[in-house]
Structure 1
Amino acid sequence: MAHYPWFWRRVKFGAIVLVGTGFATGVLGALFIWSGLFDVAATSKHPWPVAVVLHYAMERSVFLHAPELKAPDLDNPTLIVRGATHYASGCASCHGAPGQLASPIAQQMTPTPPGLYSAGRDFTPSQLFWIVKHGVKMTPMPAWPAQQRQDEIWAMVAFLKHLPDYNTEAYAELSGWSGGADFLSNVPATLPGGDFNPLACARCHGADGKGRNGVSPDIAGVSASKIVQALRAYRDGGEKSGFMQPVAASLTDAQIVAAADYYATLPTHAGGGTP
């Protein structure tokens, strides 16, 4: 190459052009941002080329960062129901569900949260686990609030895998979701217990408090003091659970006591003490 000085001159010239172009692009980009011309209003969606690039970047990032994990039995009915009950209260408002559109607020987000009916085909179980656990930056998708609770995350993956299998009626029966009622709303109580409405609790723990055949812990007849202690621990962060913390975080002390008193009075199994 020493005999071809023109070659090195061209290489040097090309390097200068590349560096100069990169510097100029950076300066122009900084000026564009500083000018405020970039419209961050969510009322204007991303242009389709930007949306395509961002989605592709997300997919490539997931493919790179998601490790291959040994999944539990994702066809386990108990695991599927656990995922469905949380999906109904924690995910459907953004992603929609059988017979339920995403909320008007979610539909105005940028990017709009996608429907998840094809998620089980688009991603492997390990990749879905990674997405649910870590969330996705620059989108409304949050990280799982209890990072150490792999059992809860796998429950969500199991439900997402089977989400296309359910129509409106089957989904409502599976999740126990009748729509609209909060934990202690002002609607009349559906079970004996004064002003306490156990609807939200019953979706996981059952109307009788016995855990819907192992879906959730049996809390029928558990002492009120233990239930109060547990709910306060979830509410205040002492105990970690992506299922329980969102429910407990919205409760006042009076509501916690009302829930504890209600479940403490329910009959236990005929064989004796509560599991």
Structure 2
Amino acid sequence: MPYCTNCGKKLEDGEVCSCTAQTQEAAVQNEPPVQQAQQVNTNDQQPYSGAPQYGQPYNGGMQPPPYPNNGQPYPNQYPYPGPQGYQYAYDGQMLPPPPKKSKAWILAIVIPLGIVALMIIVILAAIFVPAMLGYTKKSKQSTMNSRASTIFKAANTAMVELDEEGAKVDGVYIISSDQTRNTAVPFDIKEFYELEARYYDEINEYDYFIVFNKGCAVYSAVSDSWDDKKSYIGSYPSGGTSGARLYSPDGSAETADDRDTLADLYRDALNKVR
């Protein structure tokens, strides 16, 4: 038969002593009340710093976004490896980049302005290029005419000295820079060349011929080449800026053709002298 361990009272099988029951009840009353666990409202929790809101309410809070980095956020980055401020779709996937702003309006302005500028340039070129070419041509022609005049004057001065020295200067003849083209010269041509170079020291730099009549120069023509059709020809008397004049015994003013060379003018003068 069992006995109470506290008071020694004899107990029946399964009986609990009253002193033991009172002790357990007092112990229960003395225990502090169990505080009810405070339910955490996850609605007040903030999602991952810098991340947009994802998902629907989940257990009282927002469903956390999935992270592709083995379930962990990327360090010092947004949840996804995109640029800061990049927008993501509802399922967390990156959205396609926004369309670039069209710059067609720039072309719409630049192209018409470019066409207008090009038209202006073409118009100005059509006006000024011929004028410039004409001015260049006239300038070169005037330069060659001036050289022909200088040669004409130097030849007449040389003839005066030859006449004073008693040389025979009468007749109609041609003296040229190319001695093979001289025709019917009645005096020592070497002395004439020396006197001529004295009065025009650049005369040996050009090709020329001079027509004489009765001891006086009546016509001269000069160029940079005998046979070059692109070389300008100057003459005295001159034809002005329109071109060189042909030799004329009667003094008529006949202008040489643009395609004529100095050799052509020489042959024309030779035929007239003969």
TM-score interval, smaller chain? under 0.3
Higher RCO, 1 vs 2 (CA within 8 Å, ≥6 residues apart): 1
Higher helix share: 1
Q: What is the TM-score with the length of structure 1 in the denominator?
A: 0.21
Higher alpha-carbon Rg: 2
Higher strand share: 2
